[in-house]
Structure formats: C-alpha cells, structure tokens
Structure 1
C-alpha cells in the first residue's frame, strides 16, 4: 500500500480549529437526532404496509434530488450559514409540529408524507451548504483530517441512531422521537448563531441569476478533469459499493437462512470498518496523492465484497463487511478533500450539490439494477458483479493522470 503522508509526526500536527470542532459536535448531534426520527418514520410507515413505506421514502428523496442543484446555488449566493440557520429553523418547527400533531392525528399516512416532503426539501438546501463548511472553517492542509473526524462522528451517529430510535419509539412513540430530533436542531441553531464571523467567505455574484448559477456550477465541475474523475469514482462507488451492505447483504442473509440480527451485525461491521479508517486518517493524515488514495480505498473494499459474496457463515460475512467499511472509509476520507480543494470559494455549495446528486442518482440505478439481478440470478451473483465493478473502478482511478496529483 502506498505510504501515508507522514512528513510530520502526528503529535506535531496542528489541532483542528476550535470553531470547526464546535460546529462538528453540534451537527453530529443533529445527525443522531435525524437517525432517530428516520427510524421512527420508517417504523410508523411500515404499520400501513409496504406501499406507504415506499411513498414516505419517495416523499423524501424526490424533492431532495429535484432541488439539490438549486440548493447549491442558493448556498453560494446567500452563504452557507444563513441557509443552514433557515433549514434548521424549518426542521425545528416541523418536528415540534409533528410532536404536537402525533397524539391527535396518530401516525397517519398523510402526516408521514408531509414530514417526508419537508425533510427532503430542507435536505436539498442544507446538504450542499453543510458540505461546504469544512473548507470554510479549516485550511486545505487539514481538510483530510477534518473530514475524517466528521465521517467518524457521522458513522457513530448512524450506528447509535436506530437502536436509540427503537427505544424512544417503544417508550414515547413518534412524539418522543420528534421531540428528540427537535432538541438537536435547537443545538445546531445555537452553534450557528455563535459562529457568525467564521463563515465570512467570498460568495457568488449577487447579479448572477440562480438558474445561471446552477448551470455555472455544473460547467465548472465538468470542465475540471480532477473533478470529472472524482464524480466518476463517486458514481461508481454509489452504484456498486453502497448497495452491498444496504441491499445485497440482507438478501444473502435470507438465502442462507440467517436471522435479521445477522444482517444487522453485517451492517454494523461496515460501520466499524468506516470508523476505523476515518480515525486512522484523522490521526495520520491522508495519502500525499489524495486521488490515488480514493482509488486505493475502492481496491481495498474488493476482497471484502468478495468475502460477502462467497460467505458460507455469518462470521465470514461480518469480517467481509468490516473490510468493505474500511475501504469505503478510506475512499470517503480522500474523495471529499479532493473535491473541496479543487473549486473556488464561490462554487463550494454548488459542487457539493452536484456530488450528492451524482451519488443519489447512481445509488437509485444501482439498487434497482442489482435488485433485479439478485431476483433473477441470486444475491451472490449480484454481489460478485459489485466486486468486479469496484475493482475495475479502483484500477481505473489508480491509472488516471488527473487523480495522480498531490493535495
């Protein structure tokens, strides 16, 4: 494996800015609250059948995907901090309203769909703005470590969110989960108000129309060979890597006669692998050739995917998931800084919006294609296709000249 960038001892590396750490703690708390609410929404929707569950998920994903590019343009025009304050204020209001309406209306399908639409719409504006914050608060040299810490915190929140959501739903219902999420939005609002001056960066021209700004963001990304390659790797990872644990592992578990608990343990193994990779990068730093580090992360995941495809026992599947998580974490910790350091301050949110959109579209395509293949030929064959796809993508990334550049 290529050596990590360890020109300075880890102990000599400057600490991450306090403002970034404060922002990070607040947003990770909000992610935990979101994970709790998402579990509660999914559980409430499942009570009305699969059709309602699919409708609620569509109510979240459709407005999110439709408005992402516009959300990026708004973030660059009006500032990430303002957009995040507005988004958190809307979500605070929405979750409080859900908590009040829950006991009176019950978890009716229309209420769940309305909440889903609000969540998806706010996400379309909030995600690009939040994705640009590390570049606004942290120097370029510290970006890999900053994003690694952010990823580790996000994985911990995801890992704890579902169990905590189950406890809250069992004890306090949808109302309790909504109140918990509302509390985390209040925390983020306080953090954003306190960090006012730290977000002062160059914005896009006030004379630029939002639609023109949206097109300009896509044009800049497509015109930059490094960003083009990064988007290609991101799309491939979303299509072939992310469905391995989210979609194919549960199908494999059913084919082998394993319990739902085993499938959950496999998902937990992936999270642990991602956390471990993120902690290593946060401590040691990223590879000096950061684009190759992202491609190498995909190659690391290949043996894990193969192990899951061929697993005859649950222990092998869990071990494979840990390796997949380590590769995924390595990829994420390198692709994020690669993108953020290649765009001007005026286009940060728009580039993040495009990155999220590419990932979302590729994930939808991957889920549907691999699900159909699993139905026709079995989940093991579909998982093997993922291993081949990620292997080809990783090797391509290693040989692309556009990715063989230092941070």
Structure 2
C-alpha cells in the first residue's frame, strides 16, 4: 500500500487565485469598452475636421501625462482599489451623460473635448492604481504568470476593440458606443466592490504630502540600480517598438505598394505574436533570469522589424512573419519587464512606479513618433524602420550586458 506522502505529487506551481481571475475578466471588459469608446470619439471628432480630431486626442493625452505622478501618489496614499472604484464611478457617470447628450442634441466639438479631458484626468489616477493591483492580489511567485495573462487579455481586447467599435458606431452611433462603455464600467464596479486585495501593502505615510510623495517616487526609481536600467529599457521599447506597430506599419505598406488588407495582416501578425508569447508565459512562467528575458525580447523584435522593412511587394508572407516576430519580441519584453518592476520596488511605491512607467512610455513614444515620422518623410519609411531595428537591438544588448539587469532572477 502506497504511503500518503507519495500517493499524489504536490504541485510546485500554485494556481493563480480566482480573485485575480475575477478582477482580470472585469477589467478587460472595461478595457474593451474603452477601446470601443475611443474609436467612437475619434470618429465623432473627425466629422468636425482634422483639427478637432487632433484637439480631442490632445485633450486626453495632456492631463493624463501631467497628472500621472500625482495619480501614483494618490494610489499609494489611499489604496489602489479605492482609487479605482472612484474613477469607475466618475467614468460611469461621464459615459451616461455622453450617451444622453449624443442622443438628444448630438455631440458638439467642445463637448467632445470636455469628455476627452475627463477621460485623460481619470486615466492619470486609474492607470497607476490598476497597474499595481496584480501585486496586491497575487503573491510574488505567481506574479509573472498573472501579468502574462493580463497582457494576453489586453492584446485580445486591442485586436477586437476597434472593429467592434466601428460596427457599433455604424449601427448605433456615439450614443450606442457610450452606453456599451457604461455597461462595462458597471461590470467592473461590481467586480471591484467584491474583490479585496489579498496582500496588504504599506501605504504612503499620511504626513507626507502628495506632491512630495510623487517626487520621492522619482527619487527612488532614479537611485535604484535595478529600476533605473529597467525604466531605460522601457523607454527604448516605447521609442523603437511601439512606433513600428502604430506609425511605420501603414507607412511601409504604402511605400511597398501593399494594400490596406496586407497592412492589416502585418498588424494582425504582431498581435498574434504578442498573444502567443503571453499565453506561453502564463502557462510556463518567465525565464529564470527575468531581466535577461526582458532584454532578449528587444533583441528578438529587431530582426522582425528588419523583415517588415525589407520585404518587397511580392514578399507579403515575409512581412507577416516579420510582424509576428516583432509581436513575439514585444510580448517577451512586456511579460518580463512587468514583474521585474512590480517585484523590485518597495510596497509603499507600487502605484508611483506604475505611474512613472506609464510616463516614461508616453514621453518616449511621443518623441519616437515625431522623430521617426520626420525621418520617414525625409528619407523613407524603410530607413526609419531600420533605425528602430538597430535601436531595439542595441538596447537589448545593453540590457544583456548591464549587470543589475542580466543577473536579476525571478522571485
């Protein structure tokens, strides 16, 4: 008769808590609603001209960028869950008002700008809070798999959000899109009321002001030997990888004589690559040397960028495969840099580090888009893509060489 201690093997990798899965489904539903609403806002603004469309996008970006660090300090002071519930109530109200105004009188340009300002302001407080929630819901040993699941869900939402938004706007207009987003906010509000963090983290001291707390978060990040290079790698990924997907892909398609359908296939390949890697990591976990995994992701993406840039009109399959490789490298980077940051900072600074991470990404993306766009206009999109490939590869090699990154192991 077998003894009790050998009758059934004990799993060495505990399952991700159901509480986290419940939270993940709710927040991805809300993210899907946001993708639909963003498409609807852009479509409604475009009816008033390109200037209005640009103004609406700017009205989202500026308050989000300016208030991010303050939003992180608020999340660390009052708790991420409380901040998310407050932001969710504000957005639920805003989307219902938008639906009502759009139904009764149509959305004027200035009303669209006001809605955009509300969205950008709420994002500044919501993004750091929701970015820190996985650390509050799962243990450090489960965090990489949990974040990979989050990454996969986000990519699926991004892949489906715009097409569904287009169908919804065509059938029900801005009012229908706003109501759909309001429903998702109601769903996530129920989720947040029921979900409570399983891991208590120390909050920002009440005696420290919010502005001082935000500054302290920057000081910690700049002085930390792991966070400093991690933020630099994040800036490199935002500056060299994200413009390939959003900016250079359509420019390369026009330069190579591809149709819009081919450009969509390349973009789809990128999304599939990211989803595939995220699902693998969610199942098997990250590399043991988690810093090396993040740096390796940049190195993997570089040849994919080169393949898309050099593929001619007849080599559509090469371009689609290159897009898949770009997405796989991007996913590998994202699935390793996320847990690296969340496990490498003090618990008192979780939301502030997420705010700084988003801020670094946003600033690097703004600079990258403008510089690469100007270079593409002057010398062609192929050269701009070659710069991205070289920059991503150089940043990845630097990450593999830097001791604080390459020697960092997962928890």
What TM-score results when the alignment is normalised by the length of structure 1? 0.96
Task: Spell out, residue by residue over 1:160-197, the C-alpha distance to the aligned partner (whole angstroms, 9 max, x if none).
Answer: 10111011101100111000000000111101111136
Corresponding residue of 1:406: 409
Mapping of residues 33-44 of structure 1, within 5 Å: 33-44=33-44
Instruction: For residues 188-213 of structure 1, give each alpha carbon's deviation from its aligned partner in whole angstroms, at most 9, with x where no partner exists.
Output: 11011111364643211011101110
User: C-alpha offsets along residues 331-386 of structure 1, whole Å, 9 cap, x if unaligned?
Assistant: 00000000000111111000100000000000000000000000000000000000
The answer to which of 333-342 and 190-199 deviates more is 190-199
Partner of 2:184: 184
Report the Cα distance in structure 2 between the residues aligned to 1:39 and 1:11, rounded to whole angstroms.
44
What is the aligned partner in structure 1 of residue 67 from structure 2? 67
1:354 counterpart residue number: 356
**Which position in structure 2 is the counterpart of 1:217?**
217
CA contact (8 A) 2:62 2:120 kept: yes
The answer as to whether partners of 2:137 and 2:197 remain within 8 angstroms in 1 is no
| Contact 1:56-1:112 within 8 A present in 2 as well | yes
Aligned twin of 1:13: 13
Distance in 2, Cα, partners of 1:258 & 1:105: 41
1:254 partnered with 2:254: yes
- RMSD value, Cα: 1.4
Q: Are residues 263 and 45 of structure 1, via their aligned partners in 2, closer, same or farther at CA, if it must alter by over 3 Å?
A: farther
**Which position in structure 2 is the counterpart of 1:393?**
395
Residue of structure 1 in register with 2:127 after alignment: 127
Q: Distance in 2 between matches of 1:227 and 1:197?
A: 25
Residue of structure 2 in register with 1:163 after alignment: 163
Q: Equivalent residue of 1:318, what SS?
A: helix
Pick the aligned partner of 2:346 from 344, 349, 353.
344
Unmatched tracts of structure 1, length 5 or more: 1-8
Q: Unpaired runs of 5+ in structure 2?
A: 1-8
Aligned to 2:277: 277
2:98 equivalent to 1:98 = yes
Q: Is the 8 A contact 1:17 1:138 kept in 2?
A: yes
User: Matches of 2:148 and 2:11 in 1, distance apart?
Assistant: 17
Secondary structure at the counterpart of residue 225 of structure 1: coil
The structural deviation recorded for 1:314 is 2.8
**Residue 95 of structure 1 contacts residue 181 of structure 1 at CA under 8 Å; is this kept in 2?**
yes
Displacement of 1:324 in angstroms is 0.3
Task: Establish whether residue 311 from structure 1 lines up as the match of residue 315 from structure 2.
Answer: no
Structure 1 position 11, deviation (Å): 6.8
Q: Distance in 2 between matches of 1:43 and 1:314?
A: 30
| Structure 1 runs of 4+ with >4 Å offset | 9-12
Maintained 8 Å contact 1:244/1:305? yes
Matched-pair contact (CA < 8 Å) for 2:138–2:198: no
Whether the 8 Å contact between 1:80 and 1:199 is mirrored in structure 2 is no
The residue aligned with 2:3 is: none
Q: Could you tell me which residue of structure 2 aligns to residue 376 of structure 1?
A: 378
| Alpha-carbon distance in 2 for matches of 1:318, 1:125 | 37
Q: 1:126 to 1:324 in 2, by over 3 A?
A: same
Tell me how far apart the structure 1 counterparts of residues 60 and 10 of structure 2 sit (CA, whole Å).
41
Is this contact kept in 1: 2:136–2:197, CA < 8 A? Answer: no
Superposed CA offset, 1:287-335 (max 9, x none): 1110010000111101100001101133222211110000000000000
**d(CA) in 2 for partners of 1:398 and 1:281?**
20
What is the Cα deviation at residue 107 of structure 1?
3.1
Deviation at 1:108, TM superposition (A): 2.0
Q: Distance in 2 between matches of 1:264 and 1:108?
A: 32
Asked if 2 retains the 8 angstrom alpha-carbon contact of 1:156 and 1:275, the reply is yes
Q: Distance in 2 between matches of 1:263 and 1:356?
A: 28
SS of 1:368's equivalent?
helix
Distance in structure 1 (CA, Å) of the matches to 2:26 and 2:265: 28
Partners of 2:10 and 2:97 in 1: how far apart? 47
